Amino acid sequence: MYKVKVYVTLRESVLDPQGTAVKGSLHSLSYGEVQDVRIGKYLELTIGKSNRNLDGLVREMCERLLANTVIEDYRYEVEEVVAQ
Amino acid sequence: MYKVKVYVTLRESVLDPQGTAVKGSLHSLSYGEVQDVRIGKYLELTIGKSNRNLDGLVREMCERLLANTVIEDYRYEVEEVVAQ
């Protein structure tokens, strides 16, 4: 069994209105030292044994559903979970 | 200048309807090996020099605004950015 952590972030060139709103809120809470906020998604997938190559599988799931690659980048980490 | 990566996730005991929906979509795309999906937020904060202790600052921002600690957990990583 594998635990896969997927991070989906907006590409650098894409405006992040949600991040801008959070930055505004932090400033009004007097955290003026915050210069920038970017917001993305964090997904934890639990994946069982499969005949397919795990990297290929995760990449395909990201491209097809989890990330919109026109405006988003993704990266992931794989952790093997040992059954107890 | 510091780059702080904040991960906000739902507590284990809290239902994640968004994750369940994504799992359903993955299954209907024939990724049946996916056993569970949990969805959280990922924030990248750029924080300038401050007189305050960085850990205290980040923790306070998380508790007050970025995470709802009743139903969410958070963790963070700090990276120092060297000006070029």
Looking at this predicted complex, what is its ipTM? 0.88
In a mutational test of the A interface, the residue from B6, B18, B42, B64 whose CB has the highest number of chain A CBs within 10 Å is B42
In a mutational test of the A interface, the residue from B12, B31, B58 whose CB has the highest number of chain A CBs within 10 Å is B31
Handedness of CA A57, A82, B69, B77 (dihedral sign): negative
Give B-chain residues touching A79 at CB under 8 angstroms.
none
Give the residue ranges of chain A where pLDDT is below 70. Answer: 84
Nearest-by-CA chain B residue for A60: B31
Residue pLDDT, tens place only, A35-57? 999 999 999 999 998 888 999 99
pLDDT at A69: 95
From CA B61, how far away is CA B2, in angstroms rounded? 15
User: What domains sit in chain B, N to C, each tagged with a CATH number?
Assistant: 2-80 (3.30.1280.10)
Q: Structure tokens of A43?
A: 């997904």
pLDDT at B62: 97
pLDDT at A51: 87
Residue pLDDT, tens place only, B24-61? 999 999 999 999 999 999 999 999 988 889 999 999 99
- pTM, rounded to two decimals: 0.89
